[in-house]
Amino acid sequence: MGKQIRKQKKSSIIAGGFFRFALYLCVIVGVIYIGKSAYDFGYEIFNQEAMDNEENGRDVTVVIKEGDSVYQIGKTLKKKGLIDDAKIFVAQEMLSSYKGKQQPGTYILSTSMTPDEMMEILARENTEGQPDQTNTGGKAKEGSSEIQDGSSSSPKETDESSQDEGGEQS
């Protein structure tokens, strides 16, 4: 009878050791997976890359509506092929100097722009080559531009006309 108890203890010790080893292995694999995912996410946030290089970049017209959240803007940019991931765009926006500065309107963005350059344009801190977003009184039009009006003016023509208007106001 004493030998049977010893055999049961040995088998339960071996089974318990195997279970403990499997549990530790699962925890280690989980920590490695979470660490790799966190590293990849952080890398994407801080290593901003354009979708295309300068030679292959194409211009895309994007309309941002009043009340759009940063995530909705990111989904729009992803749909247009300007960024890879809307969630990463949200994190980039939160960490940038353009946090909460995106304004509604029509914008011409390029696939050769980094997310930071796009945020600069969406915050209207760089309006070079962008459609005119103001009416005759100098107030911002709500999401309208020559593009939506159907005129065939190019971004360069629009930029030149806005420079002329700016020169007259000075």
% the chain with pLDDT above 70? 72
pLDDT digits (tens, 9 = 90+) for 55-68: 888 888 999 999 89
Give residue 24's identity as a one-letter amino acid code: Y
Tens digits of pLDDT across the chain (170 residues): 555 555 567 778 888 889 999 999 999 999 999 999 999 999 998 888 888 888 888 888 999 999 899 999 999 999 999 999 999 999 999 999 999 889 998 999 989 999 999 999 999 887 777 777 655 555 555 444 444 443 334 444 444 434 444 444 43
Measured torsion, CA atoms of residues 96, 162, 145, 89, in degrees rounded to the nearest 10: -10
List the alpha helices (DSSP H) in the chain. 2-46, 70-79, 86-95, 115-122, 146-149, 155-169
Angle of the 86-95 helix axis to the 2-46 helix axis, nearest 10? 70
Of 16, 95, 3, 8, give the one whose Cα is nearest residue 48: 95
Give all domains of the chain, ordered by start, each with its CATH number: 46-132+140-146 (3.30.1490.480)
pLDDT digits (tens, 9 = 90+) for 82-98: 999 999 999 999 999 99
Angle of the 86-95 helix axis to the 70-79 helix axis, nearest 10? 130
pTM: 0.64
Is the CB of residue 116 less than 8 Å from the CB of residue 110? no
